[in-house]
Amino acid sequence: MSASTRRLFANMGWLTLAILVLWQGLYALIGDIALRSPVSTLQFTAKFITTPQFVTHLTETLKAFVLALLIAVTSGLAIGFLLGLKRFASEIFEPFLIAIYSVPKITLYPILLLIFGLGLSAKVAFGAIHGIVPIALFTLNAVRNVKPVLLKTSRVMGLSTGATIRTVIFPSALPEIFAGIRIGFSLTLIGTLLGEMFASQRGLGFLLMNAIGLHNVDVIVMLTFLLTGFAGMAGIVLLLINRRITAQV
């Protein structure tokens, strides 16, 4: 483990501690009406996550999220590469992508629901449209910014277009592409959960919405805790991968 990775983990430890202290303080202030203490949340979580009910909802969310992320990454990369390699096309479509990026996606959800109906596909589609555009924009810029001298070098070496993309453009653009994937990851997660909250019969988002309706503070705090933990952990893993990639550049 490198010194910087150790430092990262130490920082994360301190941050976790700070959050726990803040949480406990907030609980002392607000009380049981809207919050649970860290200890009782952990106890409740340990009990709840083994129930078949929870496992069903978790599996549903994971399935939707993984599918949405897969679609977001593959189409984002495809759009990014297609436009990045063609200057003319990128000049036409980049402003569109930026415009789409700033559209509040939730306004598109009714249309997606009408197209896909209630269920997994609507959630997947809604999650994916959150992730595609940032990944496409980052990839487009990364591909366009590959140093011209590297492209000249590959031409002089007689590399085919495919080989140039694979062995020169992709690795050269990877650090920036990965930054896009990191952002796409968190936006896709938001999209998937939002999709579950507003029109779904299954998944953690549905569970959360249900708990709000029933004023079940135990479940609300537990889900917040789990989702924050998951997003935080995934963030650290992606950051570590990112560091590995950029270490050489």
Q: How far is the CB of 164 from another protein (least distance, A)?
A: 11
Closest of 241, 228, 238, 219 to residue 190, by C-alpha: 228
- The pair of three-digit structure tokens given for residue 71, joined into one six-digit string: 């679609």
Q: How far is CA 21 from its chain centroid?
A: 27
Q: Which is nearer to another protein, 38 or 171 (CB)?
A: 171
202, amino acid identity: R
Q: Which is nearer to another protein, 89 or 163 (CB)?
A: 163
In the chain, how long is the greatest CA-to-CA distance? 70
Number of neighbours of residue 11 by Cβ within 10 angstroms: 10
Cβ contact 92:79 at 8 Å: no
Q: How far is the CB of 160 from another protein (least distance, A)?
A: 9
Residues that bind another protein (CB under 8 A): 147, 149-150, 152-153, 155-159, 163, 167-168, 171-172, 174, 247-249
Q: How far is the CB of 114 from another protein (least distance, A)?
A: 45
State the distance between the two ends of the chain, measured CA to CA, in whole angstroms: 20
Q: How far is the CB of 185 from another protein (least distance, A)?
A: 22
Q: Which is nearer to another protein, 27 or 138 (CB)?
A: 138
Cβ contact 222:51 at 8 Å: no
Q: How far is the CB of 145 from another protein (least distance, A)?
A: 13
3-class secondary-structure state, position 226:
helix
